[in-house]
Amino acid sequence: MSLKMGEVLESDMQVMLQYPQTYTRFASALAVTERVMQQNNPKYRDKWRQQSIRHHLWHVIRHLFLYFIGDLREAHLAHGLTRFHMAAQLSAERREQGTFLPEVLR
């Protein structure tokens, strides 16, 4: 299964319908992720799916570190959040497919 930008898993849709207040509370954060994804070069836009969950999580750590030391070259919280969403999406898709195995066990 490969979702395109803007598509959601059926299980995610059920959660959204069951807990709409949660999605309302985090609408701005989700918009930040969408903005970062849209700013990405179109030729790289779906390549994130080919990268490992671990790869995305290392980028999360990198962005948090750079944020904490005061680096201003990028919006590190926005980019870290986007990488975290990428990792979480890949994990959710693999769980739904029944193919999830934590990468440390591979």
Digit-coded pLDDT (tens) for 69-85:
999 999 999 999 999 99
Looking at residue 10, what is its pLDDT? Answer: 66
Q: Is the pLDDT of residue 5 over 70?
A: no
pTM summary value: 0.74
Q: What gap in Å lies between CA 17 and CA 11, rounded to an integer? A: 10
Looking at residue 19, what is its pLDDT? Answer: 72
* 13: confidence class by pLDDT, cuts 50, 70, 90: low
